[in-house]
Structure 1
Amino acid sequence: MTNQEKSTAERLGYAVDARALILNADDFGMCHDQNEGVMRGLKEGVFTSSTILVTCPWFEEAAAFARSNPEADLGVHLTLTAEWDSYKWGPVMARRAMPSLVDERGYLWQTVAQVYEHARLDEAEAELRAQIEKALAAGIDVTHLDSHMGTLQLRADYHEIYARLANDYRLPIRLASRRRIGIEGMGAILDQLDAFGVVTPDHLVFSGPPTVPETESYWTNLIRTLKPGVTEILCHPALARDELKSCARDAFQREADFRYFTSEKVRKLVADERVQLVGFRELRDLMRGKN
């Protein structure tokens, strides 16, 4: 059996029917309320990894946490967008050097569609490399890469950049299911990732509860019905105080997710379901031949 025929969980040494879970906290570095939710989630909850928005004003707090907690599983949340109406950020590189990546006010584009309409691929790749380098220079032991708002995963030419970055830095990445990518006509991307030896989770859950009151039932059912292999669930744990409510439209859902995944109830559920909690560090070790 080749590596491509084995699940990532099997390649990590788990049984063929084992269910392993990476619970990733996105948007670390966005603001203090987000940072506190992520830091407490990693310390007190069942979160096993997080990805940092290097472009955001509160990046330094995330970097300080990384330096003080070298065992933390932290990646780079590669971004080409600044989606909120009243809270914005620009690129890491000088705006004048990256004119296709910013709007008339110098901020990253608000939507993925605007990125695809305006951005030059060479400028996008240079900016994304600069984000990784900034994280490394800040003393962050980067364990993986993923894509803010999915920009690098929704079009083949951007996915090629994503694959090159994963290969060049020897880092695992977030990936939609291989079947879905094939259906969307990006089968060549899978060939490229396999040729590079890029390691990814087997499954991705990128949707969340439809309403705040449904948070517990939604996540509980999802954990109970995890498939064999490594599944990544992403969410945005945060505290819905004045800061977060002033900028994030989903502030209350972010806090609801934080409360759920830091509860004793979810910890017992994971244990009862015999779900193995893993981080991207294990995938990075596998990719770098350390397993």
Structure 2
Amino acid sequence: MIKKLIINADDFGMCEGNSLGILLAHEEGLVSSTTVMMNMPYALWALDKAKAYPNLGIGVHLTLTAGKPLLPGKKSYTDEEGNFLRPSAYEDEFPDGEPDEVYEEWKAQIEAFIAHTGHLPTHLDSHHYVHMEHRQLEVIKRLAKEYNLPIRQTRYVDENYFPARCEFYKDGVSFETFKEICSTEGYDTVELVCHPALVDERLMNVSSYNMNRIKELELLKSDEFKQFIKDHDIQIITYADIKNN
């Protein structure tokens, strides 16, 4: 059984509903951390709402496959209308942005977070896990070193590795999956990736993964989950706690 668990809710700032759902999953449930999509229309609004929750760790959910980039102009990762290419648009590699261009865009997203909050994010990860693709992996490693930040690792990247478990998703949204993740062998610390939300019209329009987010929210608030954490003496932490140890 693990000793420490980070429960990180992705997609903060995507819309009002999912952002409020994440805050509710933190206030009334087990979510300890979130990552914000700085190119989304509700990103700054969500960050302002989060000021009321100082114990919520907030990182940046680096984005390359949803919405528009922060930096203007035609790029290797945009279509003719200036939108990020959707995952289905990539033929050979996923994604296929030029690393130097991706670096500048992702740096702009991190800097936008710092400019609005006045502090560094707790960590870095990415929408659709594109930072773990080999061309972008070097980009995020460069940024992590530059800002001295940890990154989500779904497989071994550096000596600070502990696994991010992504199975709590779609058909895997269950108490059984939660228990299995908490029972990960060989590691004291694990990250559970989740997507709780209150579903609104924008979420239905922009994300194919929508209604199951309500189920995630209810489970992460449930007495059953909380009791399991208590019974097994698992400490709920954030990436800031990892960095400070």
- Normalised by the size of structure 2, how large is the TM-score? 0.89
Given that residues 74 and 140 in structure 1 are in contact (C-alpha distance below 8 angstroms), is that contact kept between their aligned partners in structure 2?
no
1:102 matches 2:86: no
Identity, in percent, stands at 28
Given that residues 52 and 76 in structure 1 are in contact (C-alpha distance below 8 angstroms), is that contact kept between their aligned partners in structure 2?
yes
Which residue of 202, 205, 210 maps to 2:165?
205
Give, in whole Å, the separation in 2 of the partners of 1:240 and 1:117: 28
1:252 matches 2:236: no
Give, in whole Å, the separation in 2 of the partners of 1:113 and 1:241: 27
Given that residues 123 and 239 in structure 2 are in contact (C-alpha distance below 8 angstroms), is that contact kept between their aligned partners in structure 1?
yes
Given that residues 8 and 31 in structure 2 are in contact (C-alpha distance below 8 angstroms), is that contact kept between their aligned partners in structure 1?
yes
Partner of 2:122, secondary structure, is strand
Give, in whole Å, the separation in 1 of the partners of 2:5 and 2:179: 14
Give, in whole Å, the separation in 1 of the partners of 2:111 and 2:178: 38
Gapped regions of structure 2 (runs ≥ 5):
none
What is the correspondence of 1:188-227 to structure 2 with a 5 Å cutoff?
190=157, 193-194=158-159, 199-200=160-161, 202-211=162-171, 215-223=173-181, 225-227=183-185
**Alpha-carbon offset, residue 251 of structure 1:** 1.0
Provide Cα deviations, 1:160-197, integer angstroms capped at 9, x if missing partner: 1111111110111100232xxxxxxxxxxx4xx44xxx
Give, in whole Å, the separation in 2 of the partners of 1:140 and 1:232: 26
**Alpha-carbon offset, residue 118 of structure 1:** 4.7
Letter in 1 for 2:137: H
Provide Cα deviations, 1:133-184, integer angstroms capped at 9, x if missing partner: 00000015411111211111021x3111111111110111100232xxxxxx
Change (3 A) 1:252 1:171: same
Given that residues 81 and 109 in structure 1 are in contact (C-alpha distance below 8 angstroms), is that contact kept between their aligned partners in structure 2?
yes
Change (3 A) 1:91 1:210: closer
Provide Cα deviations, 1:89-117, integer angstroms capped at 9, x if missing partner: 200111x1x52221111111101762746
Letter in 2 for 1:165: L
Instruction: Tell me the residue number matched to 1:185.
Output: none
Instruction: Tell me the residue number matched to 1:163.
Output: 141
Aligned pair count?
241
Letter in 1 for 2:58: L
Give, in whole Å, the separation in 1 of the partners of 2:198 and 2:107: 31
Give, in whole Å, the separation in 1 of the partners of 2:183 and 2:138: 32
Instruction: Tell me the residue number matched to 1:86.
Output: none
Give, in whole Å, the separation in 2 of the partners of 1:283 and 1:231: 11
Partner of 1:76, secondary structure, is strand
Change (3 A) 1:223 1:18: closer
Letter in 2 for 1:73: G
Give, in whole Å, the separation in 1 of the partners of 2:146 and 2:79: 29
**Alpha-carbon offset, residue 40 of structure 1:** 0.8
Given that residues 168 and 174 in structure 2 are in contact (C-alpha distance below 8 angstroms), is that contact kept between their aligned partners in structure 1?
no
Instruction: Tell me the residue number matched to 2:115.
Output: 137
Instruction: Tell me the residue number matched to 2:126.
Output: 147
Instruction: Tell me the residue number matched to 1:50.
Output: 34
- Normalised by the size of structure 1, how large is the TM-score? 0.76
Partner of 2:131, secondary structure, is helix
1:26 matches 2:4: no
Give, in whole Å, the separation in 2 of the partners of 1:67 and 1:205: 27
Q: Which has the higher helix share?
A: 1
Change (3 A) 1:259 1:20: same
Given that residues 165 and 181 in structure 2 are in contact (C-alpha distance below 8 angstroms), is that contact kept between their aligned partners in structure 1?
no
What stretches of structure 1 move > 6 A for 4+ residues in a row?
A: none
Give, in whole Å, the separation in 2 of the partners of 1:140 and 1:230: 29
